[in-house]
Amino acid sequence: MSLRELLNDVSDIIFPPQCLACVEIINQPAKQVFCSTCQEKISFITDNFCPICGVPFLVCPAGTHICGNCLVNKPYYTQARAVAGFETVIMDAIHKFKYGRNVSTGNSLGLFMANFSFPDFNFSEYSLLIPVPLHIKRLRDRGFNQSLLLAKEIGEKYNLPVKFSLLKRSKFTLTQTGLNKAEREKNIKGAFVVANREKVKGENIILIDDVYTTGATVNECAKVLLKAGAQKVSVLTLSRVTQKQA
Ligand SMILES: [Zn+2]
Ligand SMILES: [Zn+2]
């Protein structure tokens, strides 16, 4: 047993783990971060999605197909995958984590993300992880980068280095909330710079973020990384807004 596991066991006795979305105490804490009632409400994205952006399809009679958005505007990234829809339980947990400045919730959500079996994602094709960076101003307000906490757990599970200083946010952007896809793309354009092109060259990169909304942010990150010489960029997020596509 590692020191970390031992400390976790001891703290489980003193502070029994609470479900990340409600007040329920979890009886079987091994790898569980939600109580069973909340766990059942989560809509995991396991099949019937666009092979590029990962948007779930409501009905899929013709089997897997590329969605309308990706057909018209092919993203820079290769694949985007999310654990679950951004709704109910997951939404509550992310809010608690981001705005409640709760680092331990972040670590648990990272573990939850790392333990999810992304159905068609091959981690062995990738060489490093980059969390989507926050602008220094927002980082100071929040106290931590939520994407970095998620990336750390995935890096540990898949033995991939987390390079949080390779990509920087050079422009302070207003919140993307309330903007449509085109407005988001315009708002985020030019917001990121690669800090060290040499370290990006030829790499197969996984970008990590908490929520995929329209994909404007991660697509902009993928664009600058590819321009800097990265070979391939894909995206993993904890959750995604699921405007279901026909
Ligand atoms: Zn619960
Ligand atoms: Zn798509």
Residue written as token pair 């709704």: 87
If we measure between CA atoms, which residue out of 39, 164, 30 comes closest to residue 90? 39
Q: Ligand 2 center to residue 49 CA distance, Å?
A: 8
Q: Ligand 1 center to residue 193 CA distance, Å?
A: 39
In the sheet that 232-240 helps form, which strands lie side by side, from edge to edge?
80-85, 232-240, 204-212, 128-131
The CATH architecture assigned to 43-240 reads: 3-Layer(aba) Sandwich (3.40)
Measured between alpha carbons, how far is 200 from 227 in angstroms, rounded to an integer? 10
- Domain edges within the chain: 1-41, 43-240
Encode the chain (246 residues) as per-residue pLDDT tens digits.
677 776 666 555 556 778 888 878 887 656 788 999 999 999 999 988 999 999 998 776 666 789 999 999 999 999 999 999 999 899 999 988 888 778 888 889 999 999 999 999 999 999 999 999 988 888 888 888 999 999 999 999 999 999 999 999 987 777 777 788 888 888 888 889 999 999 999 999 999 999 999 999 999 999 999 999 999 999 999 999 986 554
Amino acid making up residue 132: V
Q: Which ligand is nearest to the CA of 53?
A: 2
The pair of three-digit structure tokens given for residue 93, joined into one six-digit string: 């947990």
DSSP states along 68-92: HHHHHS--SSS-EEEEEESSHHHHH
The pair of three-digit structure tokens given for residue 173, joined into one six-digit string: 């952007």
Q: Which ligand is nearest to the CA of 69?
A: 2
Whole-prediction pTM: 0.89
Q: Ligand 1 center to residue 29 CA distance, Å?
A: 12
Measured between alpha carbons, how far is 174 from 57 in angstroms, rounded to an integer? 31
Q: Which ligand is nearest to the CA of 25?
A: 1
